[in-house]
Structure 1
Amino acid sequence: MPVLSQALPDNRPPAESHAFNAFRGSLIGIAEALPGISGGTVALIIGVFERLIGAASQLAAAVRALLTGQGRGRTVSETRRVDWRMIVPLAIGMVLGLLLSARLLAPLVSEHTGHAYALFFGLVLASLWVPYSGSGQRWTAAHYALALAFAVLAFWLTSLSVAASADNPLIVTGAGAIAVTALILPGLSGSFLLLALGMYEPTVDALNDRDIAYVATFGLGMLVGLAVAVKSLRWLLHHYHHMTLVVLTGVMAGALRALWPWQGDEPDRVLYAPNEAVPERLGLIVLGFLVVAGVLLVAHRRQHPRRSRGRHARVPTRRW
């Protein structure tokens, strides 16, 4: 797969390289703040997905060595393997893009919740194509039944919002650990997972209010997730790739409950039939769907430039 960095001359000055990586990181950060637009998909489009996942794997190994007491030497050795020249500016750009996007999205979500959820619903609905088609294998009746079972489970779980416990450090840490798993698979949005848990608005508010305690606790959860959840998900994708994507498809479909544009406020989250602003919200659903469909089309053409009309777009998480 061609990457944008290869299009730059090899003798480019370091400042230009850092600025370019920071810009690419800002695009990922902006995408991560939008439920339904996966930062992994954007990383795939701009040509840093494989390097980013490789760096995440090395960081996970370093964090795991530190947490399990494998020794300072092992931790330092794993840390030195990380491509810091790419990761540092990329991370800075991601943080800046995330902060900017959160600042712009916070008023939209809080003041126009139904319209925002309609847009997010369309974004995630289109994203279901990624895990559904990602393995390139034909689904059987058993696969559909398994996906349906996990969809029902996810539908029920997303009715149990934990937003009322957003001040609980364990809940915040868990939310960070869950959200970071979105790094591993294009199509899975960390912000969508937070919305499904009811933790999206508390997290965005904490970023905008510079709530250091919340952000630090959330960051700790991301480190734990990086060391445990990401590694586990990579193992599942390597050994049970198709079944993992079947389950993921069901979970994402069931969790769409959290984004239904006509629902009660926290904490009841009762679902209603479309009863207000129906044309506007339906239009936003279609808009969100088309945005993600366009992003996925670009990603597919970059990954398969000679057969962009193929039926199934394979997700580059099959081989590790």
Structure 2
Amino acid sequence: MGAADIVPGVSGGTIAFITGIYFRLLEAINAVPQAFFHHLIRGQMRQFWAACDGTFLLCLLAGILGSIATLASAISHALATYPILIWSFFFGLIVASVWHVGRQVRRYGLLLLLPFSVGTVFAWWVTTLSGSPLSPSMPVYFGAGALAICAMILPGISGSFILVILGMYVPVLDAIRSLDLGILGIFAVGCLVGLLSVARLITWAFHRYHDLVLALLTGFMVGALNKVWPWKETLSWRTNSAGKQVPLNEASISPMGYAELTGDESQLLLAMTCALAGLLLVLLVEWVGRKKQPGPAR
């Protein structure tokens, strides 16, 4: 999830879903406020830890932070050096995730086409938005954290890309690099508020409208494919935290159109191989998850 959240366009929520921990994550997050008031403030640490599935959350958080710390530079370098191949891998991963999430629907029907279409159009629209830099301030950092974490927990919507659209991707990265604890603290509080709010809303919706919500999330992932399409025409640029010019607004084009526009090879065969690798990785993760599951899936 940490590796996915580094990349604008790829959602950590998608990774959580295909690894089978999505609903456990939602339940653990929802349990934190009640466990805090019922146990932690009374000094009942063991009961608090058990009520909010503390070991699971701690392992997950350690994995996310460890991945961000160790893989951020490598992923950024790979995206800059082999953009077509890396985006192809993510494209295949999300295509397989669409299939995986769609299989969780209990009863298929024409009614599901509406939320699926809404999710697809909305996610596609988000991927076409232009960045509009905000003036960094404490309320802006708080709001950016709340919006970004809401996107991160939703399969198909990238929290990093939301920060890019808001113009807050570079300021947040700069705060991380400089260890500005004041800014990071406000951003973290925004993340916490957004996370607790959206997790409760998603859980409520799943309990009452399971298939409709899955159709909506599947649409989100289909629409997000526009962002991870490997062949792009750059329309505008932004300056990253290292002071380099990187693409901001891009339009998807065909492999042939890319070769004509840039003069570079489309790498179509290698791209298809990487996409297949991403697809097979999801299928492998799903197979391993089924082998290790002791009973029927909830």
3-state SS of the aligned residue for 1:269? strand
Distance 1:89 1:154, change over 3 A: closer
Q: Does 1:295 align with 2:271?
A: no
RMSD of aligned Cα (Å): 4.0
Q: Does 1:56 align with 2:29?
A: yes
* Deviations 1:69-91 (CA, angstroms, capped at 9, x unpaired): xx956998984533445543553
Shift of 1:52: 4.6
Aligned match of 2:78 in 82, 104, 108?
Answer: 108
Q: Does 1:269 align with 2:250?
A: yes
The 2-side partners of 1:154 and 1:88 are apart by 31
3-state SS of the aligned residue for 1:127? helix
The 1-side partners of 2:172 and 2:78 are apart by 11
Q: Percent identity?
A: 20
Shift of 1:143: 2.2
The 2-side partners of 1:129 and 1:228 are apart by 28
Match of 1:198 in 2: 164
Distance 1:94 1:286, change over 3 A: same
Distance 1:206 1:145, change over 3 A: same
Structure 2 gap ranges (5+): 238-247
Whether contact under 8 Å (2:149, 2:195) holds in the other structure is yes
Q: Does 1:228 align with 2:197?
A: yes
Partner letter of residue 129 of structure 2? L
Whether contact under 8 Å (2:32, 2:52) holds in the other structure is yes
Aligned match of 2:145 in 173, 196, 203?
Answer: 173
Match of 2:94 in 1: 124
TM-score (norm 1): 0.65
The 2-side partners of 1:173 and 1:127 are apart by 26
Distance 1:115 1:174, change over 3 A: farther
Shift of 1:225: 2.4
Whether contact under 8 Å (1:123, 1:288) holds in the other structure is yes
TM-score (norm 2): 0.69
Alignment of 1:210-225 (within 5 A): 210-212=178-180, 215-225=184-194
Moved more, 29-38 or 251-260: 29-38
The 2-side partners of 1:124 and 1:206 are apart by 29
* Deviations 1:28-59 (CA, angstroms, capped at 9, x unpaired): 54465463674425753xxx767655432322
Match of 1:280 in 2: 267
Distance 1:116 1:142, change over 3 A: same
The 2-side partners of 1:79 and 1:305 are apart by 27
Whether contact under 8 Å (1:263, 1:270) holds in the other structure is yes
Aligned match of 2:215 in 222, 236, 246?
Answer: 246
Structure 1 gap ranges (5+): 1-27, 183-187, 307-313
The 2-side partners of 1:146 and 1:54 are apart by 24
Moved more, 147-156 or 228-237: 147-156
Match of 2:129 in 1: 160
Higher strand share: 2
Distance 1:78 1:53, change over 3 A: farther
